[in-house]
Each structure stands twice: as C-alpha cells, then as structure tokens.
Amino acid sequence: MNADAIPVTESFSHRMVTSWKPELTQSDVVANEEIVLLARLRQGEEGAFDELVMRHHSALIRMAMGHVADREVAEEVVQDTWLAVIEGLGRFERRSSLRTWVFGIMIHKAKDRGVREKRHLPFSSCVSVDDSDEAVDPSRFHQSGEWTGHWALPPQPWDDQTPEKLLASQQAVNAMNQAIETLPRTLRDVLILRDVEGVDAKEVCENLKITETNLYVRLHRARERVRRAVETYLEGQQSVV
C-alpha cells in the first residue's frame, strides 16, 4: 500500500491525530529485501532464485494470460522470462526494482508473443478500454435537475463486512477472482501490479508505459468492477435471507 494511502478503517470525518514518527514504508521494506535477495542471487544461491520465482511466478502467469492465447503459451512466456532474468542478472543495474525489471521482461515477451498470435487472443483481452469512459455506471447518478451528478442509487453500506469476512467466504472469493480474470488486459495489468503485487505507482507507469492519470483511471475501473462483484454477491446473500 502507498505510504500516503488512506486505510479502510480510518474514519473520514473524525481522523485521529497521532504524533508523527519516521517509519519504514512498505516500499522501503520491499527495497531492502530486494537488495539482500539480489546479493544472494549474484552469489549463485539456488535458494534465492527459488524464492524469487515463488514470489512472482503466479502473478506473472496471470498477467501473461491477458496477452497470449492460452495457458500453455503463458507458461512458455514466463519460463522464457525466467531464463532471460538468469542471463541478465549480471547486467542488472538496479535502475528500477528487481520486481519491476522482471515484470518488464515478461510484458515485453508477452506482447511480442501476443502480436504474433493476434488472431487467437481471448475475447476479454481484445475489448478496448476507453480511458474516458465512466468507471461507475452513470445511471446510478441523477442525470438532470438540482441533484445532477449526485447519487440516485447510492451504494448500500457493507455494514458487517470486514476484509476477513469476505475472504472467509468461498463464494465472495470466487466472485472477486472471476471479476479479476475477466477484466480486459489493460485493467488487469494495473490491478495485478498495483494492488496484488503492491508495486509503486511510478514503477507501474514505467512498466506499462502509461501516465499516472491513465494508471488511476484504469486502476479505478478495475477496482470498481471488483467492488460491483462484491456488491452483487452481497445482494444475492440478502435475497437468500
């Protein structure tokens, strides 16, 4: 999470003021871990390489799936990525984080492979996403009159829901995973990098060659789709009761 990010539990209107003390941000911790891991990798420690693979392989596969025709090809792309990482480790100059570098290699390879297999791309990957589109369904807002632009159908509070409760429900987890898997590639890429992998906004922009404005438009559209999936799941739960 970004250092300036506002946590979910924080009240917007009654924020508690606490004394400021310097703390390591999450990105500082990640950066320190990477320095240690990189040193171990350069010493040829096999366990360090296994650790690097374990850390990022799943997210690499998920992202590669958005660029290429099927799972088998995605696995090939990621396998090629790891081989390129091994070959390039000696030349890696830490101008970006190790993670950004690895994901950058994968994106490059996946795009290259995707271009060659253009005709076979899954439909969800081909859906074009216009960054000027509204993230939230416009019909949920008043379209005319005094309250134009204000909620006509406001979201209902998820009163007793906590992240733990949502994660404990297999149905909710499936609904969220399904929403993520069916995101168009451009939205899935930002959600996986930023929210799943926790990559800094600047590094995501660097990786995907997009502006920060584009990043937040896409990220919000992706989060909104997952939010809708949770909303639909909870509405279903209420109608059962």
Partner 1 sequence: MAQEEGQPTISEITCQEVAQWASAYLDGHVEDERKRQITAHLTGCAGCETYVKQIAMVRDVVALLPNTVEEPSDPHRLRQAFARVRRCSIKEELQ
In angstroms, rounded to a whole number, what is the distance separating the alpha carbons of residues 149 and 144?
8
Residues touching partner 1: how many (CB under 8 A)? 70
- Within 8 A by CB and 6+ apart from 226, the residues are 176, 179, 180, 191
Q: Is the CB of 118 or the CB of 157 nearer to partner 1?
A: 157
Helix 46-65 to helix 98-116 angle, to the nearest 10 degrees? 40
For residue 57, the minimal CB distance to partner 1 (Å) is 5
- Within 8 A by CB and 6+ apart from 80, the residues are 109
Chosen residue from 127, 131, 149, 178 binding partner 1 by CB under 8 A: 149
Chosen residue from 96, 141, 169, 214 binding partner 1 by CB under 8 A: 141
- Within 8 A by CB and 6+ apart from 132, the residues are none
Q: Residues 81-100: x/- map of binding to partner 1 (CB under 8 A)?
A: -xx--xx-xx----------
User: Contact positions toward partner 1, by CB under 8 A?
Assistant: 1-8, 12-13, 41-44, 46, 49-50, 53, 57-58, 61-62, 75-76, 78-79, 82-83, 86-87, 89-90, 134-136, 138, 141, 147-151, 154-158, 161, 163, 166-167, 173, 176-177, 180, 191, 195-196, 198, 201, 212, 216, 219-220, 223-224, 226-227, 230-231
